[in-house]
Amino acid sequence: MEEKTRTSYTEYKPEEISEFKIKDEKYSVIGKSVPKMDGRVKVTGQAKYTGDLKFPNMLVGKILHSPYAHAKILSIDTSAAEKLPGVKAVITHKDVPSLKYGISPARWDENIFCIDKVRYVGDKVAAVAAIDEDTVYKALKLIKVEYEELPAVFDPIEAMKEGAPQVHDEYPGNINTEIHQNFGDVEQAFKDAYYVRTDRFVGNRTYHAPIEPHSAISIWEDGKLTVYCSTQSPHYFQYYIAREFGMKMGDVRVLKTFVGGGFGGKLEPTALEFAGAVLARMTGRPVKMFYDRAEMFTHNRGRHKVVMEITTGVDKNGKILGVHANFVQDGGAYTSLGIATAYYAGAMLTLTYDFVNYKFDMTRVYTNLPACGAQRGHGAPQPRYAFECHLDHVAEHLGIDPIELRLRNARRPNTITPNEFGVQSCEMKACLEKAREISGWQDKKGKLPKGRGIGIATGSFVTGAGYPIYRTDLPHASAMIKVHEDGTAATLYTGATDIGQGSDTILCQMAAEAMGFTYDNMKIVTADTETTPHDFGAYASRQTLMSGSAVKQAGEEVKAQVLEMASVLMEVDVDNLDCRDAVVYCKSNPEIRKTFGEVARTFFVKRGPLVGRGVYAPPKLGGKFKGAPVGTSPAYSFAAQISEVEIDEETGEINVKEVWDVHDCGMVINPALLHAQVHGALYMGMGETVWEEVVFDNKGKLLNGNLGEYRMPTSLDMPKIVSELVESSEPAGPWGVKEVGEGATIPTMGCFSNAIYDAMGVRVSSLPLSYEKVWRALKEKREKEGIQK
Amino acid sequence: MYLPDFEYYAPTSLWEACGLLAQFGPRVKVIAGGTDVLPKMKQDILAPEVLVSLKNLSQLTDIFYKKGKGMVIGARATHNNLVNSPALQEKYLSICEAAHHMANNQIRNTGTVGGNIVNAVPSADLPPILIALGAVVKLFGTDGERTVLLEEFFTGPGKTVLKQNEILTEIVIPDQSFTGSTYIKFGLRRSGALAVVGVAVAVSMQGDICKEARIVLGAVAPVPMRAKKAEELLKGKAVTQELLEEIGVCAAGESKPISDIRGSAEYRKDMVRVFTKRALSKAIKEGHC
């Protein structure tokens, strides 16, 4: 039996290099659609998410949420819950630190549990840990909370009015953030303009809805807290958990397991981590906390609804002279990452078109609804939707083709935006031209049959934020590569966080390329604050460029050591050596060669661990005005999207026929993953444009916290997608890379809205463009035309 | 979201099942596919202390045609059993199509036709087409067996004539003279969406004269409703596009929708107009029942 088992494995043989041939290709590992690192374990179910993990003696914890949108807490009686057999701890605000937290340092406004009052339906009141799920749910029902209901406010415009209910006493008028930025002279630009136009648009509250619900397991061992969780950034979790409990960061270890999507919603620690840590300490046992689907919706931190008024002045040829963006955001009950969202909303409008006069006014307002935060495209997609729809009206008025208008204003490489973002690579013009060509725009625009329409929009996004979320001089990314002692494998250690987007895969490709090694023999350990070097994590589309820079440096350090060792072994000058596909060879005579493995093994025997290190910090970026850091980035992606739709004029039903996305995202490390990101971003943007909206009743209670009534598109709703690229290389990125993951969401709402407008001849100026809204707009249009006749 | 405690029985005969219903009275709930009962229990909407599962009553899943009786559909047949039934595909393709557009594949594999009926949700997809085809339901109880016209089965949202100790066992579609039937569901995405409006029609055509018609509307009244004035309007007339438009308007006028998260009453009424017209057009054109 034993014999048989053993022979079922193939015996490892040292690598033969006879087949090695120096290929003409510039790169041996990057630029290729290698299989995803975690593909096999995910499809076979071997991959374990936090919710799958079990520890000996582990308890289950749940949070008790407020049933009221705004109410005073008069009393909390936990005695009955405590007496229930199986309950190990019940906690309220009395048992936890009262220090306020939040992910935006400028507005820490959230408590682990509410102290005096609750601020939205779903606010956190208490928590229970018990031996199993059944007991936890029973115990939650036994906690008696006496409330005194207060008047509540659910609309941001209402919330700003005199006499409106106050969500936080510390923020009078419910003003959470107020921004007034003014670049150049917008008033003068409007005076000089041939045509000035103002339009108003309203966005929608949407939610990320990742497939994996949030989950956290907290374990205390000898004064040290370990948290396994579903996170986009172990670092920020570690920082804020340590801060909340007054601990040294070194005593808090945060580990990411496999994560089933984040999209911005898993960037900040939640009550699952905070309450879980307290419950675990009180009971001395591991505690697993989790949200169910409805609780995910109430925790939210999704897209802000923005009320957008936008004014543009243009000359006769459609050249933009000045833009004024005047926005109000519904922030919900807490800040979350909302200050950055508020700044991003205006900051990112200056990227795709070149103009010098720009004014941005914004008020982010508290309401008694779940808190909003960052969602794919962070703050930018709705304002971009407003701007792109608005520009189509401008083009229409001037009688200029919408693509032509955009081409006349398209940003060029090596320019600076009015809000002082330095743009190096920029193929905006090429994206527009290619999109026009592959979509057959010229044969379609204005020539489609009744009920059909085609629309265009552009977008741009940061490739990593220029500054971290809280003030620190830590580098943004770091990495370490350790080559296995026998030279057969190499492990990349990095804090970079794969949440499904594929960063593990592309970082291993980059490591192998830089080392002169092979992808197949790369291993990776990531996102564990104790074993992996620091990285800020997965947000702001930063990892390919920032983590990638650190990985490249680490790989090059390994390679340099291998070549130096090989030089001694082969008695060839080090400058005459190179390494590729795990073969070290003599450049002047490639027949003289050794395997990487052999050289690496010798290195370990003679000198000890073969390790490479890398670190990345962006240069100092941006201007000096208030809010200048938000939107700065070492590089920006650019995109043009065109969509073609068909409208059922009787029902308002929207049928998306085809979408074309053309991206300038620099050098591509893994084309398959890149196009998958475009598909995913489009899917999300399309859902937010037509189908998705979180809806509440007049008491602030969520009406569609489930995947049946919160209608994300299904596979049957997806159109044909054509994802194309333009030639581009970014000087600030390793091998010339830039972002794609969020950028592809930015143009989508505008491009669909413009196509729908083209099909209908009337504008629905609020999101989502639901069938009923389209039906109503068409009905009103017919009635109006009837009257005119 | 968790399932509260309950007692569970899975009887092997209808007699035993009805006995349990009589024994536990209002504390019991029958469960077949569970796609409605279990989520409602998790959400605290239903709190039965006892569940009686029909899973061991395998005879209730049969779908077959019996001469002289008609098409018999076991109440525990799943939606996908309906979709894939050769007997239904041959005689009543419109029922297969209605089942095919319900919910999503996972639910269609589990949810049952009986459950879809006894839940009496106004937006349910199967009742309109079954009513259009004159379906009768068989109710089995400790007091004996009775049959009820499906059209008379519903009394309000979530309410039916089914008694506490009764179980719906089968649906019978009698032989009929209709030449065509169809059901069109209008939902807000292509899969996994409840009907905003559902329209089922059955027509009996002779040349281009419509001799008889049934128009049944779902999701626009407390119960699935027949648009009888619209039916009358169509009867005996030559079908033209103008007539269909007029009938759509008439049916819309008869409907009594409410506004909810999926659509306003005004929108629903207009969708009744549109889909009555389209359903009639389709049933007349395609001809199969």
Residues A237, B119: Cα–Cα separation, whole Å:
46
Count of C-beta atoms within a 10 Å radius of residue A468:
17
Count of C-beta atoms within a 10 Å radius of residue A175:
15
Q: What is the mean pLDDT of residues A28-35?
A: 96
| CATH annotation of A476-616 | 3.30.365.10
- Specify burial of residue A547 (Cβ count, 10 A radius: 0-12, 13-18, 19+): buried
- Contact list in B for residue A713 (CB cut-off 8 A) is 189
CATH 3.30.43.10 fits B7-53, yes or no: yes
How distant, in Å, are the alpha carbons of A764, B169, B171 from that of B66? 54, 16, 12
List every span in chain B annotated with CATH 3.30.465.10: 58-173
The residue type at A644: E
* Among the partner residues B1, B104, B186, nearest to A651 by beta-carbon distance: B186
The residue type at A259: V
The residue type at A677: Q
Residue B287 is predicted with a pLDDT of 74
Residue A581 is predicted with a pLDDT of 96
DSSP code of B176?
Answer: -
Delimit the domains of chain A by residue range. Answer: 51-152+214-290, 379-464+632-788, 476-616
Domains A379-464+632-788 and A476-616 share a fold: yes
Report the share of chain A in percent with pLDDT over 90. 96
Using CA coordinates, name the residue in chain A closest to B39: A706
CATH 3.90.1170.50 fits A51-152+214-290, yes or no: yes
The answer to whether B80 touches B96, Cβ cutoff 8 Å, is: no
Give the closest-approach CA distance of B3 to chain A in angstroms.
8
Q: Does residue A364 sit in helix, strand or coil?
A: strand
DSSP code of B5?
Answer: P
* Cα angle for residues A225, A226, A228 (degrees, 5° grid): 145
Residue with token string 């000045």 = A322
**Is B194 at the interface with chain A, CB within 8 A?**
yes
- Contact list in B for residue A772 (CB cut-off 8 A) is 263-264, 267
Give the closest-approach CA distance of A298 to chain B in angstroms.
14
The answer to whether A461 touches A743, Cβ cutoff 8 Å, is: yes
Concatenating the DSSP letter of every residue in A29-86 gives STTS-PPPTTHHHHHTT---BGGG---TT-EEEEEEE-SSSSEEEEEEE-HHHHHSTT
| CATH annotation of B58-173 | 3.30.465.10
Residue A788 is predicted with a pLDDT of 77
Q: Does residue B55 sit in helix, strand or coil?
A: coil
Class of domain A379-464+632-788: alpha beta
Contact criterion met (CB < 8 Å) for A717 and B1 = no
Residues B116, B158: Cα–Cα separation, whole Å:
11
Q: How many residues does chain A have?
A: 789
- Contact list in A for residue B5 (CB cut-off 8 A) is 134
Contact criterion met (CB < 8 Å) for A772 and B264 = yes
Please state the ipTM of this predicted complex.
0.96
Count of C-beta atoms within a 10 Å radius of residue B10:
14
* Cα angle for residues B204, B208, B212 (degrees, 5° grid): 25
Peptide bond into A768 cis (omega under 30): yes
**Is A706 at the interface with chain B, CB within 8 A?**
no
The answer to whether A95 touches A153, Cβ cutoff 8 Å, is: no
Q: What is the mean pLDDT of residues A377-400?
A: 98
Residues B129, B200: Cα–Cα separation, whole Å:
5
Residue A10 is predicted with a pLDDT of 58
Residues A346, A541: Cα–Cα separation, whole Å:
18
Whether the pLDDT of residue A13 is over 70: the answer is: no
Residue A106: pLDDT band (50, 70, 90) is confident
- Contact list in A for residue B189 (CB cut-off 8 A) is 691, 711, 713-714, 716-717
pLDDT of chain B, 289 residues: tens digit per residue: 788 899 999 999 999 999 999 999 999 999 999 999 999 999 889 999 999 999 999 889 999 999 999 999 999 999 999 999 999 999 999 999 999 999 999 999 999 999 999 999 999 999 999 999 999 999 999 999 999 999 999 999 999 999 999 999 999 999 988 999 999 999 999 999 999 999 999 999 999 999 999 999 999 999 999 999 999 999 999 999 999 999 999 999 999 999 999 999 999 999 999 999 999 999 999 877 6
Supply A516's token pair: 């002169």
Supply A131's token pair: 């031996």
- Specify burial of residue A783 (Cβ count, 10 A radius: 0-12, 13-18, 19+): exposed
Dump pLDDT digits (tens) for A191-218.
999 999 999 999 999 999 999 999 999 9
Residues A404, A683: Cα–Cα separation, whole Å:
27
The answer to whether A695 touches A704, Cβ cutoff 8 Å, is: yes
User: Which residues 203-262 of A are in CB contact (within 8 Å) with B?
Assistant: none
User: Which residues 102-131 of B are in CB contact (within 8 Å) with A?
Assistant: 104
Q: Which fold has domain B180-286?
A: Enolase-like; domain 1 (3.30.390)
List every span in chain B annotated with CATH 3.30.43.10: 7-53
The answer to whether A565 touches A601, Cβ cutoff 8 Å, is: no
Question: How many CA atoms, within 13 angstroms, populate the side-chain half-sphere of residue A716?
Answer: 12
The residue type at A130: A
The answer to whether A337 touches A199, Cβ cutoff 8 Å, is: no
A357-366/A175-183 β-pairing: antiparallel
Contact criterion met (CB < 8 Å) for A691 and B194 = no
**Higher-confidence position of B44 and A5:** B44
- Contact list in B for residue A137 (CB cut-off 8 A) is 2
